[in-house]
Amino acid sequence: MTRGVGGESPSNLALHLKGLEFPCKRMDLADHVRKNNPDEKVVHALEGLPDRLYKNMAEVMEAFGETH
């Protein structure tokens, strides 16, 4: 059974954010995915993260784990 963002495991979230420069804010994450992947489930998941500055991918993954 698949689960997580767009039917994929949460660890694949990093694939959707490949090439993103840090630090960045929550909306930067969603905007990056909109440019590279039209999967609205991923965009919606990122928009649900806390609105703060993320220093690296590990912080994004931690926030994603806490909210999902």
Indicate the domain borders of the chain: 25-68
Identify the residue with better confidence: 27 or 3.
27
Whole-model pTM: value is 0.80
Q: Is the pLDDT of residue 10 over 60?
A: no
Give the C-alpha separation, 5 to 42, whole Å.
6
Report pLDDT for 5: 53
Please state the rounded mean pLDDT for residues 57-65.
Answer: 93
Note whether 52 and 26 are within 8 A (CB).
yes
Report the distance separating Cα 44 and Cα 23, nearest Å: 20
